[in-house]
A and B are shown apart, each in its own frame.
Chain A
């Protein structure tokens, strides 16, 4: 089972460039989310989706866009990268349901110069 797959694993961008981080899951999970992880700040929720066609903002949505055209995919877009967006990004998915745990991808390490 592939689980939650994130690509790329590493990326270096210049300030102002745009980029899409890919996330795909093969478990037919309805709920997907994006987090960023920064030292001393834990994981902070960027955006999430409860199903295809539905997205909502998390704790730190500014500078990021998402869409959910299929159940499997939940891409995260940086429209104009800034050094403050240097971070490790994790995608997660789970089934809808009060007792369902999150499954995390391996992360994308993004550096903005």
Chain B
């Protein structure tokens, strides 16, 4: 079965600081990987996704993530965060031949101080 682990539960940064949120998954086969963001009181929105090809994927709002297959990781990065990036971030995995199920990590709450 597939599972996802996000290492950081709550991250606090100042504006302009760099961000890296860790995500590791467990599944031995081919995977799709996703990062979603949830702003306070809103539903989840897709930040970026990896299906195949270039392991460095770029998403919206200046976010990017790197798929490292050997480490089963898909860490999210942003060079310079803004106050408006305050939100909860979820990593998710969909394993091939797993019925199409999308499994989420526990989430990381990001607070950016102005």
Q: Which residues of A contact B (CB under 8 A)?
A: 31, 33, 35, 40-45, 48, 50, 56, 58-59, 90, 92, 96, 98-99, 101-102, 104-107
Contacts and interface: CB of A to CB of B under 8 A. Distances in A.
24 contacts: A31-B100, A35-B104, A40-B9, A40-B107, A42-B90, A43-B104, A43-B107, A44-B104, A45-B102, A45-B104, A59-B103, A90-B43, A92-B102, A96-B100, A98-B32, A98-B51, A99-B32, A101-B46, A101-B49, A102-B34, A104-B43, A106-B42, A106-B43, A107-B43
A48 B43 contact: no
A33 B106 CA distance: 18
Q: In which size bucket is the chain B interface? A: 20 to 34
Nearest to A31: B100
Contacts, number: 56
Nearest to A39: B107
Contacts of A41: 106
B104 A50 contact: no
